[in-house]
Amino acid sequence: MIVSLNQGGRVVSRACPVLIEMDQLRLPAGIDVPSRAEPAEVSLALRERGWSPYRIWFDARAGAWVAAIIYRPDAA
């Protein structure tokens, strides 16, 4: 998690990792998205990397966005 502070020491934004969930396994997607982002923004960031998520949610316990992906070996 990345936290940015302004000159007064207040939190400006916080970037959280995006995790890919496939078959009950979570792997890092290699991108960070603000915790206050909308699921559609997370989806667009993942699609730019070639992923096709079908469900996205923020997991507060993990401090990360999670995207459910249907893994298809023949899709590559």
User: pTM of whole model > 0.85?
Assistant: no
* pLDDT reported for residue 23: 83
Helices (H) and strands (E) in the chain, counts: 1, 5
* pLDDT reported for residue 3: 45
Kindly list the averaged pLDDT for each block of 10 residues, start to end, along the chain of length 76: 51 83 91 93 93 94 93 59
Region of 56 (left: φ > 0; alpha: ψ -120 to 50; beta: rest) is beta
* pLDDT reported for residue 24: 83
* pLDDT reported for residue 56: 97
* pLDDT reported for residue 10: 57
